[in-house]
């Protein structure tokens, strides 16, 4: 009987951890997509705000990435940081065309990372 109780407790713990991880990933990437869309609009308008928003996103991402790396690993998490730094460099040079290209890459990477890190039924099969 004790083994069944321990097994059920372990199952509940694993399930709870999975749900919390899923919610964290969903919330993080939803916020990330919103921030990237805001930056895209600023770049399209060739606004000085694009660099400020990108700097804010870089700091926000650094904190989120550290938390995500505690429970999951993907080299793309660090690759995203590199692409974000490239966009930042383009904006610092005033190259809005390259920054727009980097922003599109970041949006694509965000979707791919979300798909890789989030729970999918295909992961079970």
Cβ neighbors of 72 (< 8 A, separation 6 or more) are: 21, 117
The rounded distance, in Å, linking the Cα atoms of 55 and 67 is 19
55-59's contacts with Cβ under 8 Å and 24+ in sequence apart are 55/88, 57/32, 57/84, 58/84, 58/85, 58/88
Are 85 and 58 spatial neighbours (Cβ–Cβ below 8 Å)? yes
Tokens of 99: 């920054």
Tens of pLDDT along the chain (125 residues) come to 888 999 999 999 988 988 888 899 999 999 999 999 999 999 999 999 999 999 999 999 999 998 888 877 788 888 899 999 999 999 999 999 999 999 999 999 999 999 888 776 666 65
- pLDDT computed for residue 124 by the predictor: 61
- pLDDT computed for residue 63 by the predictor: 94
Q: 66: how many CB neighbours lie within 10 A of its CB?
A: 10
């Amino acid at each position: 009987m004790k083994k069944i109780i321990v097994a059920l407790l372990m199952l509940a713990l694993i399930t709870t951890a999975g749900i919390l991880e899923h919610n964290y990933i969903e919330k993080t990437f939803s916020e990330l997509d919103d921030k990237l869309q805001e930056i895209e609009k600023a770049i399209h308008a060739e606004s000085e705000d694009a660099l400020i928003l990108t700097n804010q996103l870089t700091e926000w991402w650094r904190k989120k990435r550290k938390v995500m790396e505690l429970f999951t690993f993907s080299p793309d998490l660090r690759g995203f940081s590199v692409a974000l730094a490239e966009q930042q460099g383009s904006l610092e040079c005033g190259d809005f065309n390259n920054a727009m290209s980097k922003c599109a890459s970041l949006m694509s990477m965000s979707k791919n990372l979300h798909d890789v890190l989030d729970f999918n039924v295909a992961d079970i099969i």
